[in-house]
């Protein structure tokens, strides 16, 4: 059944998801906070700064009146960066109720509070709408989704029926959506892969090879899962689309904003220059600090995140950071389960 959907945020991801939804026959409004962008999309059918080369169907109504759009919608999709989620939820909460579903597509932890986006939403709305909150996450670059290249992602929610509703509105032959009840796991995977993607970009920028990249991805996954499990996530989630899947795509894709920022740092740009050169949000920058703080607070060992923090915030030389990671004390690969699973080893 066609739904009325408000997509907030006309960056690359909000635009690509709006296109998927419109092609699935839904009534879609795309909300932008930039009048020039609204005019451009209306006149040319293209969002040239964020998603060049992708046709935005004329049926998508692009405008700036967020409140009006949310009032009318049955489903509200947050396609904004994670640092804007609190402010936007604060603005729209008077118009939310138990008949509306809120889908968050932002991947990040909030700076200072270290909160996941579902927790930010819960704080702002008082917890009464949590059953209607769904996280949409997984390996999915807007540039490919906009070009209808086959993509598989995850809709995670507290209530199976609500997650399945989100699955249904998005599913198409080129966009496959799985459901998952593990909100903590998918949020931690989605937010922290961006930290590792910056690191793989740095390694590539330093001229290191595929072995280093594979080491960062897999040891990155080990520390992400360690934190996630400590916070209550299901370990199996990290073996799925929102864990290893999103790490693979973000750490290796030429589209990745986080990888691009890392690449620039590895090639010698300053951190602010590197972030600015990307022109779109580099989520892993803020999330690195939040994850570093969270790891310390939780007593979880996250050596790669720690080095990312030192490079991004303390001016640590990336080559030295690599050397320090490689010369840490020796370890078992499956350290966390050695004594419980192999007591005699
Ligand atoms: N670009 C991609 O391929 C994917 C992005 N994501 C996630 O989606 C989120 C958004 O990322 P992108 O679209 O890439 O960012 P972007 O940098 O392309 O666009 C962000 C958009 O949000 C708008 N915005 C910022 N604050 C706003 C506010 N307060 N109200 C309304 N609009 C606001 C900006 O004007 C901009 O149009 C991030 O958390 C990212 O990690 C997730 C999957 C894929
Ligand atoms: O989340 C993403 C892909 O799944 C997008 O990653 P980037 O923000 O690094 O482009």
Given the residues 100, 165, 193, 307, the one annotated as active site: 193
Q: Which atom of ligand 2 is nearest to the CA of 256?
A: 10
Q: What is the pLDDT of residue 128?
A: 96
Question: CA–CA separation, 328 vs 176, rounded Å?
Answer: 41
Stretches in the chain below the pLDDT threshold 50:
none
Counting ligands in written order, which one lies closest to the CA of residue 263? Answer: 2
Distance 141 CA to ligand 2 centre (A): 6
**pLDDT for residue 303:** 98
Domains within the chain, CATH numbers bracketed? 4-181 (3.40.50.720), 184-341 (1.10.1040.10)
| Segment 152-155 long-range contacts (CB within 8 Å, at least 24 positions apart) | 152/176, 152/177, 152/178, 152/241, 152/245, 153/177, 153/178, 153/241, 153/242, 154/178, 154/179, 154/180, 154/186, 154/240, 154/241, 154/242, 155/103, 155/179, 155/180
Residue 115: per-residue pLDDT: 98
pLDDT digits (tens, 9 = 90+) for 74-102: 999 999 999 999 999 999 999 999 999 99
How far, in Å, CA of 29 to CA of 62, rounded? 6
Indicate if 260 belongs to the active site: no
pLDDT of residue 88: 98
Which residue out of 13, 14, 253 has the highest number of ligand 1 atoms within 8 Å of its CB and is therefore the one to mutate?
Answer: 13
ipTM of the modeled complex? 0.99
pLDDT value of residue 142: 98
- Shortest-distance ligand to the CA of residue 34: 1
User: Which position has the token pair 């490079």?
Assistant: 311
pLDDT at 213: 98
């Amino acid at each position: 059944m066609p739904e009325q959907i408000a997509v907030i945020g006309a960056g690359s991801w909000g635009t690509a998801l709006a296109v998927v939804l419109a092609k699935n026959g839904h009534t879609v409004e795309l909300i932008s906070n930039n009048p020039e962008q609204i005019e451009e999309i209306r006149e040319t059918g293209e969002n040239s700064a964020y998603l060049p080369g992708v046709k935005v169907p004329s049926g998508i109504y692009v405008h700036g009146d967020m409140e009006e759009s949310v009032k009318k919608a049955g489903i509200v999709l947050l396609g904004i960066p994670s640092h804007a989620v609190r402010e936007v939820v604060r603005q729209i909460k008077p118009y939310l109720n138990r008949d509306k579903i809120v889908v968050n597509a932002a991947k990040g932890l909030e700076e200072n509070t270290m909160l996941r986006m579902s927790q930010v939403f819960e704080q702002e709305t008082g917890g009464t709408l949590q059953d209607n909150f769904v996280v949409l996450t997984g390996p999915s670059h807007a540039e490919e989704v906009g070009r209808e290249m086959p993509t598989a992602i995850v809709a995670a929610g507290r209530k199976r029926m609500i997650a399945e509703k989100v699955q249904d509105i998005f599913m198409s032959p080129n966009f496959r959506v799985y459901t998952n009840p593990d909100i903590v796991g998918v949020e931690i995977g989605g937010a922290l892969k961006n930290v590792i993607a910056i690191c793989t970009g740095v390694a590539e920028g330093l001229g290191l090879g595929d072995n280093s990249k594979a080491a960062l991805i897999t040891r990155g996954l080990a520390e992400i899962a360690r934190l996630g499990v400590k916070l209550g996530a299901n370990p199996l989630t990290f073996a799925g689309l929102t864990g290893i899947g999103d790490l693979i795509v973000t750490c290796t894709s030429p589209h990745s904003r986080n990888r691009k920022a890392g690449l620039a740092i590895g090639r010698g740009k300053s951190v602010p220059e590197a972030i600015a050169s990307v022109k779109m949000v580099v989520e892993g920058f803020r999330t690195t600090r939040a994850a570093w703080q969270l790891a310390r607070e939780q007593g979880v060992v996250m050596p790669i995140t720690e080095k990312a923090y030192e490079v991004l915030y303390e001016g640590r030389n990336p080559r030295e950071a690599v050397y320090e990671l490689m010369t840490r004390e020796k370890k078992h690969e499956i350290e966390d389960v050695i004594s419980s699973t192999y007591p005699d080893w």
